Amino acid sequence: MTRRDSLRRLSILMATVLIDMIGFSMVLTQLPFYAERFGASASTVGLLIAIFALAQLASAPLWGRFSDRYGRRPAILSGLLASAVAFLLFGLANSLWMLFVTRFVQGFGGGTIGVVQAYVSDSSTPENRAQGLAWVTAAASAGVMVGPKLGSLAFGLGPSAPGFLAAAFCLLNLAFAWKWLPESRSASDRERDANQAEPTLLFQALLRIVATPKAQISTLMTIYALAMLAFMSLNGILVLYLKHTFGLTEQTIGNVYFYIAGMAFVMRAALLGLIVRRFGEVRTLRLGALFVALGLLTIPLAESLLALYLVALFIPIGTSLLFPTTTSMVSKYAKKQETGQTLGVQQAFGGLSRLAGPIWATAVFEFSTTAPFFITGGLMLAVFLYTFRVQPRPEPLPPKAEAAAAQ
């Protein structure tokens, strides 16, 4: 594949991810307000966020195996269709149980995140993989930047408007991807890899990682899972914290997310590649963990919105350095014929964190609005220390050099 073909595929995937995340974030930032109107407590809001992770956890490895065998394109299209159905249900929701249904359906479609990452791996050379992942996650950040603002504006048209508008975006995205998104792997490659891949059940794959904690891929997945636990704990309580501490509403919450996601977009689109080339993936990963820790520890110390805007910058900077770099390194350690499955397993670990984070954080939030920040900040300091176990994978020798070394 030429560099031009690679860039073309990535640009189409970026457009797909951008539109998908606009709809996703339109609904996500409105969810706690809707839930509280239906009488939900903070803990119930945490369960609403967590059920998405439960469905994603169950479906991610299945989507990964499906994409290894039948292609990335049909898996991505199926996930988009599930999201469109979920957003439509959100617009129709008039009770708490309907919110739970829409979150489960959306999580099932969201299980294709590992497939998206595998698509990037298919379309990039190993040395450009972190940059490719950064571009795609930059598109996601742009969607998260625009989506909450659109959700706040749409709410002015009525409570159902954000869900219906998100569904319209998703259907438009599905049509776009159907027309323009090519398959990233040939039929012969899919058949060959399906024959070579070891059929591994989710439980067996998870157990293999747990049983080999000193292996580099196990270390990387542990870092990813713990960092995702901290990040999803923050996501579980941030809207509630901003509402109860600074009085933000459905029509003003989008401003904060626009600002934070805007920094994430700049980091991933323009700066991450430069930082990785300058410091290497391992040191970039360590910096990311440290910045996330600083953000979590300082947010509850902010006594004004201006101070909050300043310290909150640590979060998008840190996550932009940490998550794409970790995923890039995991893909390099994976067997080529099992890339989709391996990234699906990584997302399964992340799914456990997405499941647990909002539940415990919102439960603690009912007793102390600041304790979850300090607990997760301490966790991320421990993750930062744990990143010193990570070593860069040696690059394979060119064929001639390998032959010479063997003599």
Tens digits of pLDDT across the chain (407 residues): 566 767 778 888 888 888 888 888 888 888 898 898 888 899 999 999 889 888 877 887 788 788 878 888 899 999 899 999 999 999 999 899 999 999 999 888 887 877 887 888 777 776 677 677 777 877 887 888 888 889 989 988 888 999 999 999 889 889 988 988 888 766 666 555 555 545 445 556 667 666 676 778 888 999 999 999 999 999 889 999 999 999 998 888 888 888 888 888 888 778 888 898 899 999 999 999 999 999 999 999 999 999 999 999 999 999 999 998 888 888 777 766 566 667 767 877 887 888 899 999 999 999 999 999 999 999 999 999 999 998 876 554 444 433 333 33
Q: Take residue 92 and report the two structure tokens written for it.
A: 């129709």
In a domain, 92, yes or no: yes
CA–CA separation, 8 vs 138, rounded Å? 16
Please name the residues in contact with 65: beta carbons below 8 A apart, sequence gap of 6 or more.
340, 341, 344
CA distances from 127 to 121, 144, 273, 389 (A): 11, 27, 11, 22
What is the total count of domains within the chain?
1
Q: Which residues of 367-377 are buried (b: 16+ CB within 10 A; e: fewer)?
A: eebeebbebbb
Its sign, for the CA torsion 14, 19, 24, 25, is positive
Which DSSP helix (H) or strand (E) runs through 92? helix 72-92
CA–CA separation, 341 vs 109, rounded Å? 17
Task: Fill in the DSSP letter of residue 30.
Answer: T
In a domain, 274, yes or no: yes
In a domain, 407, yes or no: no
Contact indicator for 305, 247 with CB cutoff of 8 Å: no
Predicted confidence at residue 336, as pLDDT, reads 64
Task: For tokens 């409570």, name the residue.
Answer: 159
What stretches of 247-313 show up as alpha helix (H) in DSSP? 253-266, 272-298, 305-311
CA distances from 8 to 128, 132, 139 (A): 15, 12, 15
In a domain, 152, yes or no: yes
Angle at the Cα of 391 (from 344 to 271), degrees rounded to 5? Answer: 75
Task: Output phi, psi for 185, to 5 deg.
Answer: -135, 140
Task: Output phi, psi for 362, to 5 deg.
Answer: -70, -30
Amino acid at 252: T
Task: Report the candidate in 135, 121, 154, 112 with the shortest Cα–Cα distance to residue 22.
Answer: 154
CA–CA separation, 264 vs 14, rounded Å? 15
Contact indicator for 282, 293 with CB cutoff of 8 Å: no
Q: What CATH code is carried by the domain that includes residue 62?
A: 1.20.1250.20
Beta strand segments in 244-292, E: none
In a domain, 187, yes or no: no
Which DSSP helix (H) or strand (E) runs through 211? helix 202-211
In a domain, 377, yes or no: yes
CA 366 to chain centre: 26
Task: Output phi, psi for 111, to 5 deg.
Answer: -65, -10
Host domain of residue 92:
3-178+201-393
Angle at the Cα of 149 (from 146 to 152), degrees rounded to 5? Answer: 150
In a domain, 401, yes or no: no
